Amino acid sequence: MDYFVDILLIALSASIINNFIFYYFVGICPFVGVSKKVDMAFGMGCAVTFVMSIAAFLSWGITVFVLIPGAPVSAFIAGFFTTPEAAAQIDLTVLSYIVYIFAIASSVQFVEMYVKKFFPPLYRSFGVFLPLITTNCAILFACLTIMSHVAGVDNPKEVWDLGKAMTLALFGGLGFTIAIVIMAGIREELELCDIPKPFEGAAITLVIGGIIAIAFMGFTGVDSGVKKALKPVPHVSQVQEQPQRVALLNTKDCKGVIMP
């Protein structure tokens, strides 16, 4: 049960509350560039989600099996040269960036070639976005987030497993899709508006992004609220509090009720 709550929270947080675009500013380039038409934006969102999932899968695997201290593969290889204890200490996390980007670039290119060859209609509709995704910060950011929850975590209970990693990727991609589709909807609408010439294009897109970001700030704390509702934390001791005075302008009407 707790596990599902965790998954739910990761999903909520990644897709809405800490939206990749409006909260972390990753994936801005396609957000500005490919949000002119809803269909294209949706295609881009799907492509990002897809690649993000592949990248998350690869990076989680590489991190767990190769990079972190005591990872099976590196420990196994090192075992030939040194003592098992020393082998278990080998920390390759310094290679993480280079490995992730390597994996992303390769998988993107592979998928692109594959789709181009075997699904030409699909390629025409969303394949054109694939090369753009190689340089999409959102993908690498997802990998880094996953790494930060796998490597260097004190509490072994908090280390993410593959399920959580994939949730982050899927819902992060969903959040990206939501953001870019909303923006594309608005930009289609803007075609019917009389935007001042200097603001046409990227400038107005960013300003609108800002307004949506303000609106999304309303979700701050929703994750902890949901967490509290779904997963009562047992070890927080009950805080005794005094009921607070509610201001009533006419004191004789004061019928403040303390909730049970």
Partner 1 sequence: MGLFKLKGFPGTGSFPHGIHPPDNKALSANMTVEVMATPRTVTLPLLQHLGVPCKQIVTSGETVSYGQMVGKGEAFVSASIHSPIAGKVKKNAMVTLPNGRRLEAITIQAEGEQTPSEKIWEEMKFTQWPRHGFSNYEPMDIVKKIQASGIVGLGGAAFPTHVKVMPNDTRAIDTLIVNGCECEPYLSCDYRLMIEAPGAIVTGALLTARAVSAREIVICVEDNKPEAIRRLQHAAKQTVVRVAVLKTKYPQGSEKQLVKAVIGLEIPLGGLPADAGVAVSNVQTVATVARSIIKGAPLTHRVISVSGRGICNPKNIFVPIGVSLAEVVDFCGGLRPDAVRIISGGPMMGFAFSDLSAPVTKGTSGLTVLTRDEVDKGAEETHCVRCGRCVDACPMNLVPTRLALAARYKNPELASQYHIRACVECGCCSYVCPAKLNLVQLIREGKVQVNAWERR
Partner 2 sequence: MADQPTATERFVQGILPENPVYRQLLGLCATLAVTNGMKPALTMAVCVAFVLVCANVVISLIRNLLKPHLRIVVFTLTIATFVTVADRVLAAYMFQMSKTLGPYIPLIIVNCLIICRCEVCASKQNVVIAAADALGQSIGFGLALASIAAIREILGTGMLMGFRVLPSFWPDWVIMVLPPGAFITLGLLLGLVNYIDFKREQTRN
Partner 3 sequence: MSLKNSNLVQAWLVLLLATLFGTALAGIQAKLGPVIEANKVKETMAKIPVLVLGEDLSAELAADNQSLTIKSRVIDVKKNGITKFYTVYDVWLPEGKMVGHVVKADGQGYADKIELLVGLDAQGKHITGLFVLDQKETPGLGAKIMEDAWRGQFKEKSTEKTLSVVKGGGAKEDEIDAISGATISSRSVTGIVNTTVANVASQLQVTDNPASNSKTPAVQTEDPGKNKEHS
Q: Note the residues at the interface with partner 2 (CB under 8 A).
A: 22-29, 32-33, 94-95, 97-98, 100-102, 104-106, 109, 131, 134-137, 139-141, 144-145, 148, 196-199, 202-211, 213-214, 217
Q: Which residue, among 148, 65, 58, has the nearest Cα to 100 in the 3D structure? A: 58
Closest distance of CB 170 from partner 1, Å: 31
Q: Which residue, among 162, 157, 130, has the nearest Cα to 146 in the 3D structure? A: 162
Residue 65, SS3 per DSSP? helix
Task: Find which of partner 2, partner 1, partner 3, none residue 236 binds, CB within 5 to 8 Å per kind.
Answer: partner 3
CA distances (Å), 168 to each of 38, 40, 70, 144, in order?
Answer: 24, 23, 25, 11
Report the site for partner 1 in 45-84 (rule: CB under 8 A): none
CA–CA separation, 66 and 60 (whole Å): 10
Stretch that binds partner 1, among 84-92, 136-144, 155-163, 189-197 (CB under 8 A): 189-197
Q: Which residue, among 28, 40, 51, 210, has the nearest Cα to 139 in the 3D structure? A: 51
Q: Looking at 2, 85, 154, 191, which residue binds partner 1 (CB under 8 A)?
A: 191
Dihedral angle sign, alpha carbons of residues 108, 109, 110, 114: positive
Q: Whose Cβ is closer to partner 3: residue 11's or residue 34's?
A: 11
Task: Find which of partner 2, partner 1, partner 3, none residue 140 binds, CB within 5 to 8 Å per kind.
Answer: partner 2
What residues line the site for partner 3 (CB under 8 A)?
91-92, 94-95, 98, 102, 154-155, 157, 220-221, 224, 227, 233-242, 244
